[in-house]
Amino acid sequence: MVDFADDTSTELERKAVALKWVSLVETVSYVGLAAFWLTGNKPGTEIFGSLHGMIFLAFAAMVLTITRSMEWGWWFAAVGLLAGPLGSLLVYERIRKRGVPEHARRRTATAVPHPA
What percent of the chain clears pLDDT 90, i.e. is strictly above it?
59
What SS3 class is residue 60? helix
Per-residue pLDDT tens over the stretch 30-80: 999 999 999 999 999 999 999 999 999 999 999 999 999 999 999 999 999
More confident residue, 66 or 4: 66
Give the predicted TM-score (pTM) of the model.
Answer: 0.79
| C-alpha to C-alpha distance for 2 and 95, rounded to whole angstroms | 24
Residue 33: the pLDDT is 96
CA distances (Å), origin 62, targets 35, 44, 53, 65, 69: 26, 27, 14, 5, 11
Mean per-residue pLDDT, 22-34:
95
- Cα atoms in the 13 Å half-sphere on the side-chain side of 108: 19
Confidence of residue 27 (pLDDT cuts 50, 70, 90): very high
Shortest CA distance to 31 belongs to which of 16, 43, 17, 48? 48
pLDDT digits (tens, 9 = 90+) for 99-109: 888 766 665 55
pLDDT for position 51: 95
